[in-house]
Amino acid sequence: MDKRQSSKSDIVQSVDVCIDVLLNVAKNPDIRLTEVAQNLGETKPRILRMLRTLERRGLVRKSDTGTYRLGTTAIILGTAASTQVDLVRIANPILEEVGQKANETTQLRIIDNGESLCIAKFEPMRDLRVQAMIGRRRPLTAGSYKVLLAYLHPQVQLQMIPETLPRLTKRTITDRGKLVAELDKIRRQGFCVSYGEVSDQLVSVSVPVLAFDGSVIAAVNVGAPAFRTQKSDVDRFIVLLKEASSKISARLGW
Amino acid sequence: MDKRQSSKSDIVQSVDVCIDVLLNVAKNPDIRLTEVAQNLGETKPRILRMLRTLERRGLVRKSDTGTYRLGTTAIILGTAASTQVDLVRIANPILEEVGQKANETTQLRIIDNGESLCIAKFEPMRDLRVQAMIGRRRPLTAGSYKVLLAYLHPQVQLQMIPETLPRLTKRTITDRGKLVAELDKIRRQGFCVSYGEVSDQLVSVSVPVLAFDGSVIAAVNVGAPAFRTQKSDVDRFIVLLKEASSKISARLGW
DNA sequence: AAGCGGGTTACGATAGGCGTAACTTGAAAT
DNA sequence: ATTTCAAGTTACGCCTATCGTAACCCGCTT
């Protein structure tokens, strides 16, 4: 029937679906054909063809029990990507430096599709530490990742804040008005500290990475267990992160 | 016209081309539309549609000057892959261990499409070291990667050896007969040492990773500058690599 | 031995995707 | 300034690559 959707003009549907398939396999290791088809609401033959195509190219691998995982070509893509995405390439050594000094886990997060997305990380060598994972998503409205929201145009900001705010812990802010007020405070002070908003017992500190025009392109973050984190540590983290943030900005060309 | 090619049954062509596009961008950062189209022998509109689709999903990113690079989704894919591909996941800490002990660069290589392909590596922290790169390909017929050939069925082996052997340095073996004899020797001794066959001034030692049935699934490798590598070092590397190889085999379930 | 569900194959219909050709833009050449 | 050229993009009608249906083939359970 109709064909011109609002904004989906000029994309190749089969490729689009195939990306869905690929990401589905990435998210669910050892997934089966039928499962993928169900997840995506597509027919089995279609998905089978896609998986076969991906398999030929080494992007996925079919085990002898018929389950699918990512393949070696995906690894190659990923390593190539991490040298090509400026932000990641530049941030990585800086994240490591901060992580070493703070002796806690650091992350680089961007806004992606209405959530915060971890695209680089460093974890220190110690038994107990915050676990970070590239690709993991978190709400923008909870924890110190709020800094990503704080610098948006008020209008866009409101669009990004859902009607009901997901409650992750008892400290999560769930009132829109309060959240907006908090964002205002963050913008004025230039950082955000969250105590147990995302996970109990965790302290998280974030500082925005700003472009020359004042727009946010990412956030750098330190996450630490609350029991070993004093006020003075938090202050140290903030200083470290601010340095890191300006270094990244600078190296990106500003 | 005709449609049934020899073995290309049942794959989705547009997806296949799109993978070509993606890999092309991976290999050539900051490539332009026209270049991709030329490389692949496709029309510009087709490639444009593909790139747009990939861009929407964050697999590639278009710079404001119109060049394309891999995007953040590729990073996510890659990190997911390295936890899903058993061989890589298992080999990584072992490569690191060997690399630390040898204080030289280590690699894990597999046969892919008639070449050897680096799918994992470790580089020690020292100023002068062999540079390894995930995704880099080398001929199977030169250097210590020959171990990958040595254990194949003689028939398959011969198929894999091209008519004329690429000469990389003056020490590269270029006679098929000599190569086959060398492979025989490698199989008997269980490792391969190459002096300057791939690059002058480099020593490379490889040991095969064998499956329960004696088939080769990968090779572990130490690469080092010749000037600081004595015979005794080579012997040490061989021992380290053999240990590593059996550890990997064991952890894979044999 | 019938039933079930995952995986696979066959095939004809169709709309998704293709290339041609035309247009835009911006930069280089004259 | 004016022309030329090439890269990038859009439009559009044709056609074939791709789709879903339906049927089939396991192996496993009941």
- Picking from A5, A33, A49, A73 by the largest number of B CB atoms within 10 A of its own CB, the best residue to mutate is A73
Interface residue of A16, A19, A47, A64 to substitute, partner B, most B CBs within 10 Å: A19
Mean pLDDT on A69-86:
93
Nucleotides of D under 7 A from a protein CB: 6-11, 16-22
Q: Quick one: what percent of chain A has pLDDT higher than 90?
A: 77
End-to-end CA distance of chain A: 49
Q: Which residues contact A109 (CB under 8 A, 6 or more apart)?
A: A116, A117, A118, A119, A138, A145, A148, A206, A218, A219, A221
Mean pLDDT estimate for chain A: 91
B26: nearest CA partner in chain A: A80
Report the residue from A10, A71, A135 with minimal CB separation from B52.
Answer: A10
- pLDDT confidence of residue A187: 94
Beta carbons of B84 and A70 less than 8 Å apart: yes
Q: How confident is the model at residue B6 (pLDDT cuts 50, 70, 90)?
A: very low
The pLDDT of B31-48, averaged and rounded, is 94
- Angle at the Cα of A123 from the Cα atoms of A71 and A70, rounded to 5 degrees: 10
State the pLDDT at residue B252: 86
Contact across the interface for A79 and B134, Cβ inside 8 Å: yes
Q: Give nearest nucleotide to B46 (CA–C1').
A: C18
B219 φ, ψ (degrees, to nearest 5): -135, 140
Which residues 19-78 on B are within 7 A of strand C at the CB atom?
A: 42-46, 49
pLDDT of residue B9: 60
The whole-number pLDDT of residue A189 equals 95
| C-alpha–C-alpha distance, residues B121 and B139, integer Å | 18
Best mutation site among B21, B48, B75 for testing chain A: the one with the most A CBs within 10 Å?
A: B75
pLDDT at A24 over 90: yes
Q: Write down the residue that tokens 């689009």 correspond to.
A: A16
pTM: 0.86
Q: Could you report the per-residue pLDDT of B46-61, keeping only the tens digit for each? A: 999 999 999 999 999 9
Per-residue model confidence (pLDDT) at position A2: 31
Which member of A15, A88, A135 has the closest CB to residue B15? A15
Asked if the model's pLDDT at residue B8 lies above 70, the reply is no
Smallest CA–C1' separation from A51, nucleotide: C7
Q: Which of B45-49, B154-158, B200-204, B223-227 has the lowest mean pLDDT?
A: B154-158
Q: Do A79 and B54 touch (CB under 8 A)?
A: no
pLDDT of residue A5: 33
Query: For residue A11, what pLDDT is reported?
Result: 87
Q: Give yes or no for residue A161 having a pLDDT over 60.
A: yes
Amino acid in position B178: K
The dihedral sign for the CA sequence B24, B27, B30, B35: negative
Mean pLDDT of the region B118-122: 95
Tens of pLDDT, residues B136-173:
999 999 899 999 999 998 888 888 898 888 888 888 89
Provide the 10 A C-beta neighbour count for residue B246: 14
Contact state of B88 with A75 under an 8 Å Cβ cutoff = yes
Question: What whole-number distance in Å separates Cα of residue A59 and Cα of residue B19?
Answer: 9
Q: Flag whether pLDDT at B5 surpasses 90.
A: no
Order of strands across the sheet that contains B67-70: B31-32, B67-70, B60-62
Instruction: Report CB contact under 8 Å: A85, B77.
Output: no
The nucleotides of chain C lying under 7 Å from a protein CB are: 5-10, 15-21
Q: Is the pLDDT of residue B90 over 50?
A: yes
Contact residues, chain B, for A16 at CB < 8 Å: 53, 56-57
| pLDDT at residue A9, as a whole number | 60
DSSP label of B160: H
With CB atoms and an 8 Å threshold, state whether A14 touches B16. no
For residues A24-34, average pLDDT: 94
Indicate if the pLDDT at residue A254 is higher than 90.
Answer: no
CB contact under 8 Å between B112 and A58, yes or no, is yes
CA of A21 to C1' of D30 (A): 34
Going from the C-alpha of B149 to that of each of B108, B124, B135, B146, B167, the distances in angstroms are 15, 28, 19, 5, 17
Q: Quick one: closest CA in B to A19, which residue?
A: B57
C-alpha B192/C-alpha A103 separation (Å) is 42
pLDDT for B137: 93
pLDDT at residue number A155: 84
In whole angstroms, give the CA distance from residue B7 to residue A120: 40
